[in-house]
Each structure stands twice: as structure tokens, then as C-alpha cells.
Amino acid sequence: MASQAQLDMLAKINSQNGFIAALDQSGGSTPKALGLYGVEESEYQGDEEMFAKVHEMRTRIITSSVFNGERVLGAILFENTLDRDILGQSSSSYLWNVKQVVPFLKVDKGLEAEVNGTQLLKAMPELDGLLAKANAKNVFGTKMRSVVKLANAQGIEALVEQQFAVAKQILDAGLMPIIEPEVDIHSPEKAEAEALLKASILKHLGLLAADQQVMLKLTLPETANFYQDLVNHPKVLKVVALSGGYSREEANNRLTENNGMIASFSRALSEGLSAKQSDAEFDATMDSSIESIYQASKS
């Protein structure tokens, strides 16, 4: 049974304008994220210090006066952030209770090696325990990312089948899954891969129970409104877009062309932010970023 907070979160995601902030870089991507933020690898030693630095960055973003539920619908965290506090509250509680931003949790453990032009999710034997923890912390949903490199029908079907199998486990735990089959923006077969991906997703949506919904997180497509069938699908709560390495300007321009899709940007959100900025400079930079992504998500 969903908690009242989770029902309120569902209503917010369903009805309000805004976008989802992806604050979930972890593991191998963390040094790069910190480097872009102006924190050099010489400034920390070992994983514990690295994750402490990343939590400082996330805390600065989340506690900024310009980061709130008026324009930011939700935020995706990784487990290390979920386990830490922000100003005396658990990170997920602070997001919802103070900022009215819906918390999501990244649950995947990274990617398998490429097979048939795709990288599937690594096995997640601890997923049930992680979902129980997410529920205990009033998290609304989850996210897991796999990657499509080439237009290989067999590989794409295997990837989508795996994503939906995990999504059903997440739905059974009472949480909202964000299914993220990222198409590599550098793929030489990007448009062809998107066509295969859409067909496979539509097939698997049709296999969900009548009362089940999922969210989708997709690379911005080569053809405007290519995913309109998914945006309008009764089994889809929301289609969110990943920036995938596009600059914020390029990502916003592409998003504006896709009606009904909203942003779930990571690098494009934090672009221009620096640990060396004063609070006033930091807030002004972030306010501009949030506003541009919010406007692109309203189209």
C-alpha cells in the first residue's frame, strides 16, 4: 500500500510542469563529475573522501534556494546519497519535506560488456533489500540504465526484456520504475536503433497489468516527436529525456521539439557550476540552468 507521501508524489509527477534532476553519477563517473565541478583528484584520497566531496556538491545543489519543487519535480540519487543526511534529515526526506522534490533512487550496479550492440544491466542480487530501504526512506521510484550502441534487433529486444523484468520486481515492491534504455548519441545507427527500441518498448508495455504504469528515460531522438506514442501511452506515467552528453543548449533545443517529454538531465544541469564559485555566483548559474531546462520541458 502506497504511503500518503508516495500518493502525493505521484500526483505531483502526473500533473505539474517541471523536470527531474539526475544527481546520481556514481562509481566510475564520480571523478569526472567532480572534475567538471572544479574538484581535482588531488583534493581527495580513496572512495570515502571522494563520496564525501560528491555529497558536498549534491548538498550545495539541493540546499540552494533556487532548487525547489516549483520547477524541479524530482531528483535521482544514488545509494550513497540516500544513506547520507542533508541538514540533519535523510537526503530523501529533505528533498520531499523541505523542497517538495520527489526522490528517486538509482538501483543499477553498472553495465555488462557489449553484446549484440547493447550493454545490459549487471545482475542485482541485492535489489529486494535496496527496494525495502527505498520504501523505508519514502522514495517514490527507481532508475536503471542500460545502453544501446547499434541497431541490433536481438540485442535491443534482450535489453528491453531485461528492463521490464526488473521493472516488474520494482512495481511489486510498490515503487515506480524509470526504465532507461539509453541510445548512445554517437551511435552510427542512432535513428535505426530508436525505431527498434520504440517497437520493443511498445510490445512490452502491452504486457503490463492493467493497473501498472512505468516511466521511461530516453535519449532525445533524431526525429522530433518520435516517441509520441510512448508519451501518450496509458501505461506510461511520464517520458523523461536524458542529455546523454549533449550540451545544455543542444539538449534543450532537442527537448523543445519533443512535445510531452520532460528533462532528466545530469551533465546538462550541472554545466557551469563550480566549487570555486561564491554562493551568489553558484545560485545565479543554477537558477539560469534550471529556468532554461524548465522552459524546454514545458513545450
For this structure, is 180 an active site residue?
yes
DSSP 248-269: HHHHHHHHHTSTT-EE--SHHH
Catalytic residue (one of 53, 149, 198, 217): 217
Q: How deeply is 88 buried, as exposed, middle or buried, from its count of CB atoms within 10 A (0-12, 13-18, 19+)?
A: exposed
CB atoms within 10 A of CB 9: 25
Q: Determine contact, residues 99/71, Cβ cutoff 8 Å.
A: no
Asked if residue 71 lies in contact with residue 290, where contact means CB atoms within 8 angstroms, the answer is yes
Active site residue 217: yes
Q: Which residues contact 196 (CB under 8 A, 6 or more apart)?
A: 151, 152, 153, 156, 157
Catalytic residue among 12, 53, 143, 180: 180
Q: Which residues are catalytic?
A: 180, 217
